[in-house]
Amino acid sequence: MKKISEQKCFGGVQGVYEHHSETCGCEMRFGVFTPPQAKDGPVPALTYLAGLTCTEENFIVKAGAQRVAAELGLMLIAPDTSPRGEDVADAAGDYDMGKGAGFYLDATEEPWARHYRMYSYIARELPDLIAAEFPADTIKQGIFGHSMGGHGALTIHLKNPGSYRSVSAFAPIVAPSQVPWGQKAFMNYLGDRQEAWEAYNATALVAAEPSTAHILIDQGADDQFLAEQLRPELFKQACERVGQKLTLRMQPGYDHSYFFISTFVEDHLRWHAAELGKL
């Protein structure tokens, strides 16, 4: 692992690091905020998954989460959204495919299958690296994210409830099989097999096997992507059918931006701290 940068922040350290990912077959970057409490021993760890076009930097710089994380003693982990490098396949001119749009799945179709393995990277390789290199409590781990990253957070939690024990999302793509963003990505990355799509569809996953966690979702009521791409009502309906604990908050006047995320990120950090504190 290579250190790219480290700065003192609210008594802790905000760092950016790089390593060679065997899973993705390329160099991957991620950010870690280590709170001051880590000087005394392992601390709960919370992984944030960013949305389309983003890198590890967006959350670190724009969300304003470090102050509250330092107060609560939470480690914040912010990975990149996709593999990078000259030999990594890309979709020129498409913001919703290729680099910056990994969709947190393991691609099976060419030319994507070689590098686009973000599901396994987030679910397996990155947690192992964090456990080896940082003072993270491996029992008390949560996950959250925004938009495409909200999709990733929900699906990775639902597929790995024993690893990521708490979960929340900002404006997640909850039913990618039923919306244009997801349909485009899934057809390219996974081919036309419906069962492969449903394995990364939070609405289908929760309907098949609900989680014991209480899920928090914040959604801007004035989000420009709400009706066509996000459709939180589909996830809510599935949760109601199977008894999944869900708090869905529609926030009047808020859009899809990091201004929305920065407004409610404190609520999410406190939510995760409380949920992980029960373990």
> What ranges in the chain are assigned the alpha helix state H?
57-62, 66-72, 118-120, 126-133, 148-159, 180-190, 194-198, 202-208, 232-242, 258-277
Structure tokens at 21: 């990912």
Query: Which amino acid, residue 26?
Result: C
Measuring CA to CA, which residue among 118, 60, 109 is closest to residue 84?
A: 118
Q: Which residues of 192-221 are buried (b: 16+ CB within 10 A; e: fewer)?
A: eeeebbbbbbbbbbbbeebbebebbbbbbe
C-alpha 259: how far from chain center = 18
The one-character DSSP state at 251 is E
Q: Which phi and psi angles does 180 have, rounded to 5°?
A: -55, -45
Contact 196, 227 (CB under 8 A): no
Burial (CB count <10 Å: 0-12, 13-18, 19+), residue 95: exposed
What residues are annotated to the active site? Answer: 147, 223, 256
Strands 2-9 and 26-34, how do they pair?
unpaired
Contact 189, 112 (CB under 8 A): yes
